[in-house]
Structure 1
Amino acid sequence: MANLLILRGPSGAGKTTTALALRTHWGRGTALIQQDVVRRQILREHDVPGGVNIGLIDVMCRHALGAGFDVILEGIFHADRYGAMLRRLIADHHGPTLACFFDVPFPETVRRHTTRPLAAEFTPDDMLSWYVPDDRLRVPGEVVLGDDLTLEDTVERITAAFPRSD
């Protein structure tokens, strides 16, 4: 049975870095679906309520899971815009599922952002306009990951808590 891992949180929290490390660790058979890739690159869509990306992300996840791929879904995914879709996806998926929220304070997200290759693409003011503190989905078993964890700690915690078929 395919596994579903959802990584959510503010910009600069470490979601993409974690997702890439997990995909490398888990190898083939793992689909990485990134909100920014779907919304910004495939659709060139702003993040708006009811955006086309929400449905496309849902379809992509369901298709990959149905084909037997484990899915890592990562993005900011504000609960007010994406929560209904994510909760339905979680409820409909009969395999192991883990939802993680990166609870990283705004100043730390800005500090981390300055170290990224895309640091010039948007400003701390942009990040502040996207920042929603404690934006958890509040689904059973949701894991909250704090800024005190290193990348290695985060990957270890997820791999230990997340049953994955080989």
Structure 2
Amino acid sequence: MESREPSDLRRHRRAGTAVKAALRDLRVELALLNHQIGGRLALKDIDLDCLDVLAQNGPLTPSALARQVGLHPATLTGILDRLERGGWIARDRAATDRRSVTIRILPDRNREVFGLYSGMNQAMDEVCATYSEAELEVITTFLQRSAEAGRTAVAKLGEDG
């Protein structure tokens, strides 16, 4: 980083603080949205997290899903039982090794979730329409780097705990 005047450094720190405050506000709003949607579907926040990871990554083993959502595999078992009873997921067993299980989303129920998020998706489409392609690339990179910073912080807390 180039050398800056003290007033430039203060402005840069204030701008960084504003970004972090906006991210906290976004986190709260997304948590409220997820809570509202979860309430309508009789799903807990962690259930929605599991469904989202499966929707993004396709079928996963229980251990891979547990790692991605940050849960102990034994804790995940109860969640998967609840999601399977509700018709949200299926556990597919390999024909050659019945112990090998893959978790997949059931598409009909998943459409219900997407339907409830349609208002937010439409609002985000409108927000994105106000930015150039180059600006959206910068925003995407920023969000990806922020997510990586979050993963790093989680891993560090796991090491310290």
Report TM bin, short chain. Answer: under 0.3
TM-score by length of 2: 0.25
TM-score by length of 1: 0.24
- Say which structure, 1 or 2, has more relative contact order (CA 8 Å, 6+ apart): 1
